[in-house]
Amino acid sequence: MKFASTRLVVSDIKRMVAFYELVTGYRADWLAPVFAEIVTPGAAVAIGSAETVAMFREGSAEPRANKTAILEFMVSDVDAEFARLKDQVEVVHEPKDLPWGNRTVQFSDPEGTRVALYTPVTDAARRRFSDR
Reported in sequence order, the residue ranges of 1-132 that DSSP labels E, i.e. its strands, are 5-10, 29-32, 35-39, 44-49, 70-74, 90-97, 102-108, 114-120
pTM as predicted: 0.92
Digit-coded pLDDT (tens) for 60-102:
899 999 888 999 999 999 999 999 999 999 999 999 999 999 9
- Interval 17-29 mean pLDDT: 98
Provide the pLDDT for residue 79: 98
Cβ–Cβ < 8 Å for 47, 6: no
55 has a pLDDT exceeding 90: no
Calculate the dihedral angle through the C-alpha atoms of 82, 85, 90, 96, rounding to the nearest 10 degrees.
0
